[in-house]
Amino acid sequence: MSGIGIAWNVLTTTPAIFSAAFGVAWGILGGALPGISPSISMALILPFTYGMDPAVAIILLAAVYVGAEYGGSIPAILISTPGTNAAAAAVIDGYKMYQQGRGGEALGISLVTGWIGGMAGIIILVFLTEWLTEVALMFKPPAYFAIGLLGLSVIASLSEGSLVKGFIPAVIGLMIATIGADPVSGVNRFTFDRIELISGIHPIIVMIGLFAVSELLVQSGLPAWPKTDAKMRLVLPSFSMLFKRLRIPQAIAIVVGTFEGILPGAGGTVASFISYNEARRWSKHKEEFGHGSPEGVAAPECANNVVTATTLIPVLSFGIPGSNSAAILLGGLLLHGLKPGPQLFMGSPEVVYGLYAGLVCANLFMLIIGYLTLGPSIWLVNRPKPYVMAFIYALLFSGTYSLEHSLFEPALVLASGLIGYAMRHVGLNPLPMVLGVVLGFMVETNFRRSLVLSSGDYGIFWGDALSTCLLSVALLFIFGSLLSIVWKRFKGRETQTN
């Protein structure tokens, strides 16, 4: 059966369409709440996908991601408080348009350009993922070890402030991944005689704690969200506005969103700000930027929706998540016993092609549901913050409990959340830690397999061409980050001297 036939079969024989619709609605509402990012919206729904068909579950998670990226623009435009990190760039001109009485126009531009960006991203996802998966067929254990190490190195080296602050969480994540039975000898490690730890700590537990619980703890100490106009109505952009004035900003956003989505550690936030800056550079109306420019809303919103699809390329091809949301989706694959890479395409094609079809449906639903749910989203933003936080806590822990029907998992989630909260206060990025937990099994297993194949000779990692190339790139990222830190310190001392 062809890919199109498989996708059609998934849509017509499973509740995939309803899953996509619900996911988009949930994502929009979650994104509309300031501080509840796409990854947190996905983490909240993730435990409830445990008993679902794998294809339907992955479509649901992807649809939440799509909806949350648009939903984040609602509070960004209406109350100058971005619901997601990627929506921060939309605040600059979106809130100015709202102050000028053009808030509905700004929301309409965000919705339609986001849909265009999402559809463009899906096309790029389909073509590039298939090609990269064929490349992945050439990978042997040394190469798989090297690509896991590369993913950790890239994320850690891109952490702000210090290379050490990037590697500390990554190493902690790798340490957590060693808990449980040894993948080669079967010996129990670091289980402390607890039966629950023999199978290890599932990455989902760590993800929910580090992303969701830690963010809720942070939000609990912040002031209440501002109120907004409950009578706001969404206004769709005209054909002339969309395909004449906004044509160049959208083209820029698609190009930037493609590259930033594929690169680990970049994501929608970086893509949004770069697209905004480039749109201003190439605009014929530069003077309007910062004062209510439609182009200043279109470029970042189109870019972060391109990223919702292109960030899945390294996840599906190699199992390397480049963002928090991609890590949650990878966790969903692992929860259902699915291994990314060539085996996923050959063993479970219905999941991959179903995901493609589900993303198309999700983007179509985003147009419809985004238009209809503006009122409920505004109502939700205007609810008392303590009530909303209490509801999210209840949803989070009840979902975690449903995984194994044990209080041990909620306790681990709470512990992970407290660790994530402490990490935020000392300036540590939680993503390298999550990546360490997710990639730990792959890195350790392939490292051990390689040494078994070479009878303990470490030269096998440099004897394999792909492994050598990937390890060299990892070293380049590390040394590049070190040089950048040294250069910044040198410039800082030079400035102080002058």
Higher-pLDDT residue of 468 and 340 is 468
Q: Over range 266-271, report the average pLDDT.
A: 66
pLDDT value of position 80: 66
Question: Is the pLDDT confidence value at 485 over 60?
Answer: yes
Q: What is the pLDDT of residues 151-180, one digit of tens each?
A: 777 666 656 556 777 788 888 888 888 888
Confidence of residue 22 (pLDDT cuts 50, 70, 90): very high
Q: Which H or E element spans position 113? A: helix 103-136
Cβ-Cβ contacts under 8 Å for 176 (sequence gap 6 or more): 201, 206, 433, 436, 437, 440
Number of Cβ within a 10 Å radius of residue 12:
9
At 45, which amino acid appears?
I
Which amino acid does the sequence have at 141?
P
Using a 10 angstrom Cβ sphere, with 0-12 exposed, 13-18 middle and 19 or more buried, the burial of residue 411 is middle
**Alpha-carbon torsion angle 7, 123, 373, 232, nearest 10:** -170
> Mean pLDDT, to the nearest integer, of 357-384?
81
End-to-end CA distance of the chain: 70
Q: pLDDT band at residue 264, thresholds of 50, 70 and 90?
A: low
Higher pLDDT, 71 or 79: 71
Q: Are 429 and 166 in contact (CB under 8 A)?
A: yes
**Segments making up each domain of the chain, as ranges:** 3-497
pLDDT digits (tens, 9 = 90+) for 399-433: 777 767 788 888 888 998 899 899 888 888 777 88
Confidence of residue 228 (pLDDT cuts 50, 70, 90): low
- Give yes or no for residue 220 having a pLDDT over 80: no
- DSSP letter for 287, please: G
Cα–Cα distance for residue pair 146/399, rounded to 1 Å: 35
SS3 assignment for 396-464 = HHHHHHHHHCCCHHHHHHHHHHHHHHHHHHCCCCHHHHHHHHHHHHHHHHHHHHHHHHCCCCCCHHHHC
Tens of pLDDT, residues 172-204: 888 888 888 887 777 888 888 888 888 788 777
Instruction: Give the confidence band of 232 by pLDDT, cuts at 50, 70, 90.
Output: low
Average pLDDT across the chain, whole number: 80
Cβ atoms of 350 and 6 closer than 8 Å? yes
Give the pLDDT confidence of 279-307 residue by residue, as tens digits: 887 788 777 887 788 888 888 888 888 88
